[in-house]
Amino acid sequence: MLAPSSPPDYAIEARGLDKTYGAQGKGKPVHALKAVDLAIPRGSFFGLLGPNGAGKSTFINTLGGLVKKSGGTASIWGHDIDADPMNARGAIGIVPQELNMDPFFSPAEALEIQAGYYGVPKSERKTEEILRAVGLWDKRDAYARTLSGGMKRRMLVAKAMVHSPPVLVLDEPTAGVDVELRRQLWDYVRALHAGGVTIVLTTHYLEEAQELCDTIAIINHGKVIACEPTHKLISRLDQKTLVVTPQTPLAPPLRGFEDIVFAQRPTGAFTLTYKTSQHSVEELLDRIRAAGVTIKDLSIEEPDLEDVFVELTA
């Protein structure tokens, strides 16, 4: 494979990427990607988040050559997908959403076939190494149809890695995968990342993205509405929630908190969600006491990705 002389700054770079499905057809066209600009830094663990129908798969499948874009440009590892499709394709491994596998091949055979498809010479194949890494070495000679759902999912990751691409994309990889297998999958993906592979993950599990990804883009209705380091994205929400359990149950309404979002919880606690730039905990505690409440217990909840997501996609 022809590599650029120095590694690119961006593993994936899309400029004005546009896709309309059914532009010529009879049905109503769907504008799935609207002039998407997205630069995924080399070496990142990147999350592409968005609700169902946001355009995540369309974006991924355009890169993989499964969807023909309507406009714009995209490059993978510095190779333009139009001008240099062979090298672009060779630089990326995509783990698809669906578990589509030939039921008659064993994991070992399937990897050999995939490696052949990518033109990996026999001497450079890593069938054993990959199968061990995804915990399928014991199953190397089993029929694919005898594998569990989680094993099939790991097989898809294995297949995506046969040509040692510098960029691995996982499209909703843990939908329907149980906790233990999910952990195993992430252990492997993390090891790949530690070895220098750029990881792109599409998911609607916010918790997963928050835990794994160092950078996150949020896509909604075919547009990128945020793209930042994860911690920065979360700190964007200038908000915290004070959770107060009163000594005696509150007889609502609590007066004097009209400038703050007040809510009650079934546990008997009440919450005050406030802007950290406008209020301090000290001030709120004074006001709670002034309202005649004796505090039994107290905690502060920080915003998480879910809050940011809700705010941005609302």
Given the rule CB under 6 A, which residues bind ligand ADP? 21-22, 30, 32, 50, 52-58
| CA separation for the pair 10, 256 (Å, rounded) | 52
Q: CB-wise, 58 or 75, nearer to ligand ADP?
A: 58
Q: CB-wise, 147 or 217, nearer to ligand ADP?
A: 217
Q: Is residue 277 helix, strand or coil?
A: coil
Q: CB-wise, 32 or 272, nearer to ligand ADP?
A: 32
> Rounded to 5 degrees, what angle do the CA atoms 115, 41, 227 make?
120
Q: Is residue 57 helix, strand or coil?
A: helix
Q: How far is the CB of 18 from ligand ADP (least distance, A)?
A: 12
Q: How far is the CB of 119 from ligand ADP (least distance, A)?
A: 29
| CA separation for the pair 100, 281 (Å, rounded) | 54
Q: CB-wise, 199 or 218, nearer to ligand ADP?
A: 218
Q: How far is the CB of 227 from ligand ADP (least distance, A)?
A: 16
- Identify which of 232, 231, 239, 169 has the alpha carbon closest to the alpha carbon of residue 197: 169
Q: Count CB neighbours of 149 within 10 A.
A: 12
Q: How far is the CB of 151 from ligand ADP (least distance, A)?
A: 24
Q: Which residue has the tokens 């008659």?
A: 104
60: enclosing H helix or E strand: helix 56-63
Q: CB-wise, 95 or 136, nearer to ligand ADP?
A: 95
Q: CB-wise, 70 or 241, nearer to ligand ADP?
A: 70
The CA dihedral of 118, 86, 68, 157, to the nearest 10 degrees, is 30
Q: How far is the CB of 305 from ligand ADP (least distance, A)?
A: 17
Contact 314, 308 (CB under 8 A): no
Q: How far is the CB of 255 from ligand ADP (least distance, A)?
A: 45
Interacting residues of 306 by C-beta distance below 8 A, sequence separation 6+: 206, 207
Return the bridge partners of 198, or none: 167
